Chain A
Amino acid sequence: MFWRDYLIPRLLQYFLVIFLGITIVFFIPRLAPTNPVERTIAEVRSRGQYLDPAHIKDMVDALTEMYGLSGSWWEQYKDFWVRLSRGDFGVSFFQFPTPVIELIKRALPWTVGLLFTTTVLSWLFGNIVGGMAGYAHSRGWSKLLDFLAMFVRPIPYYVVALGLLILFGYVYRLFPIGGGATIGVRPSWTLAYIKDVLRHAFLPALSMVLLGGASWFQTSKLIVQNVKAEDFVQYAQLGGIRESRIMFRYIIRNAMLPQVTNLALSLGQILSGALITEIVFSYPGLGHLLYSAITTGDYNLIMGIISLSIVAITTLVLIVDLLYPLFDPRIRYK
């Protein structure tokens, strides 16, 4: 049955992955050879500040409390989950005393806006163009696109991002070289502001759509080429069914199925690309925030961002996976 064979195992996996992910995030700093408190103090020292021993003792206590490192591991672990469920990750160290959740809330819309749009755009763009290229795979333009994708596909995100930045930010100054909006302009729902945001988002979005699109293009082209050779497509052609109908209901419908699964799988890996994009373009999203947290050794902020991202990404993957049976009756009705 659908429930027993598909839904329940999938939900089980979802909760288990979140549980394990968060647990790992909890234990990694505690198992590491240096604990965050020592590291923070070492960092403060390395900036050349003199600290007298009494002051150090105070600092150690304060930091231990702040990082939730007091008490036994079990108590800390329980406490970690309780705080997580309340969305409380303590206060940030590098923007003391702003609560971590506050910083995340500020950065989240930028990342979601950029990531969501580019993911959807590159998926759609890659699948549509790839589908057409797969349908007409013996045509010249299809072969040309295939050849171009062979070049674009293996290039890593940051190279494309850097290349676009150098070309359109420095050599031809068509687009701003960083930020989410012009500094000092107040956010508002005016046309001017929206245009400003779009102008800033253009290069980072282009870099991601270009690469993501090339990869979706290749898989989609291959899948459509294979589906086109399937018996049921041949049969529809044999039966004189209209070409447009064969294209959409027979080929594209079926070729989309593996691409839905692939979308779910790629969502899990999406942040590594976004992180680089945000760093290269100084985009004020979660990736950039994480970068700042890493460079300043802000553990609470790092744990907050990572825990939330794990929950968010696994949930997204789950949603895509749960949507899959809507498209595939073979899963729905066993």
Chain B
Amino acid sequence: MALGSTLRDLFRDYRFVVAFIVLLFLVALAVISAFSPYDPTIWYYAPRDLKPSSQHILGTDSRGQDIFWQAAFAIRNSLIISIVAGLFSRLIAVAVGLVAGYQGGRTDRVLMFITDGFLVIPLFLILVMLAMLIRDKMNVFTTGLLLAVFGWAWDARVLRSQVLSLREREFTKTAILSGTPTLELVFKEYMPYITPLAFSTLINNMSWAIGMEMTLSIIGLTNMDIPTLGTNLKWALNYQAILMRRWNWILTPVVLSVLLFIALYWLSVSISEYLDPRTRVQRVGGE
């Protein structure tokens, strides 16, 4: 598939264009956090509860921190968490999907039994227990890993059915009959089909991970010293920002996360529509 023509087709979709621009803006925000004038964990770096001014674009919060720079760090960390969670859970999903789909038989049944178990069990509750016990030791990377363990099951099923249909295709039989080693067949012949699918589920899974991190933060189950979209919101709620009508504080993480979620969703919808016009809506990975 020529990348150029694919991108040209995608850019015809207004949703893709909007999503792309919004994501570009958010990533830029994440990147400039590297040039922040201060360490985000320091309290009372600035006077508290300032209104937006030229000094502090979005004002400061009750912890004496600059809301703009906090938001930049939050976007950066939330994106890192979601990418770690997305990539590692794709690894599990692709491995399970490929092995189950290609091996078939008992291997398939056992793997799918486990996968279905993950789909049926109220994973969130177990996640809550785990997070509660290890929250103080969590950093951005381990949070991502923890979420990865919980977010692969649905996509493993999707990938498996793709492999099942590939296995029925003519080229698989030809390859097997001509003695192509299994690994070579899987990596050379199947990957071009699996990769786009894995990519489109990656985006869904990333937004699931960001949402999950925010949920856990609001319950107070993440490390509150690390600024993320979730902890930013949680601090604002903790200091009764709504009651105090400190809209610049509470709305910053809310608006940013809404932008992020809509952008990721539109991106995934337009990509999956491009891949398969019949499936216009996909469920969010691990939802």
Q: Do chains A and B touch in the complex (CB under 8 A)?
A: yes
Q: Is the CB of B121 within 8 A of A28?
A: no
Min distance, Cβ A212 to any Cβ of chain B, angstroms: 12
Residue of B123, B134, B212, B214 touching A33 (CB-CB under 8 A):
B134
Interchain Cβ contacts under 8 Å between A and B, 20 examples: A17-B117, A17-B120, A17-B121, A28-B126, A28-B129, A34-B133, A150-B269, A155-B258, A156-B215, A158-B233, A163-B254, A165-B242, A219-B283, A222-B279, A268-B120, A269-B124, A269-B287, A302-B128, A309-B122, A317-B120
Interchain CB contact (< 8 A) of B125 among A17, A153, A262, A306:
A306
Tell me the number of A-to-B contacts counted with CB atoms below 8 Å.
127
Known A13-B120, A16-B117, A271-B125; 13 more pairs at CB < 8 Å: A21-B122, A33-B134, A154-B261, A155-B261, A156-B261, A159-B258, A162-B242, A222-B281, A271-B124, A275-B215, A276-B219, A306-B129, A314-B120
Which residues of A (1-46) have their CB < 8 Å from a CB of B? Answer: 13, 16-17, 20-21, 24-25, 28-29, 32-34
**CB of A182 within 8 A of chain B?**
no
In the assembled complex, the CB of A148 is this many whole angstroms from the nearest CB of chain B, namely 12
Q: Interface size for chain B: under 10, 10 to 19, 20 to 34, or 35 or more residues?
A: 35 or more
Q: Which 6 A-B pairs have the closest CB atoms?
A: A154-B265, A32-B133, A272-B124, A154-B261, A218-B281, A306-B125
Contact B219 A279 (CB under 8 A): yes
Q: Write the chain A residue with the least CB distance to B284.
A: A154
Q: With A154-B262, A154-B265, A268-B120 in contact, do A24 and B219 touch (Cβ < 8 Å)?
A: no
Known: A16-B117, A154-B264, A159-B254. A294 touches B287 (CB 8 A): no
B116 contacts chain A at the CB level, 8 A cutoff: yes
Cα–Cα distance between A16 and B221 once the two chains are bound (Å): 28
Query: How many A residues have CB within 8 A of the partner chain?
Result: 51
Q: Which residues from chain B contact A309 at a C-beta distance below 8 Å?
A: 122, 125
Residues of A288-334 contacting chain B, CB below 8 A: 290-291, 294-295, 302, 306, 309-310, 313-314, 317
Residues of chain B contacted by A226 (CB below 8 angstroms): 278
Please indicate the chain A residues that have their CB under 8 angstroms from the CB of B261 in the complex.
Answer: 154-156
Task: Chain A residues near B64: list those with CB within 8 A.
Answer: none
- In this assembly, does A141 line the interface, its C-beta being within 8 Å of a C-beta of chain B? no
Asked whether, in the complex, the Cβ of B116 is within 8 Å of the Cβ of A272, the reply is no
Complex Cα–Cα for A295 and B280 (A): 41
B-contact 0/1 string along A262-291, CB 8 Å cutoff:
100110110110011001000000000011
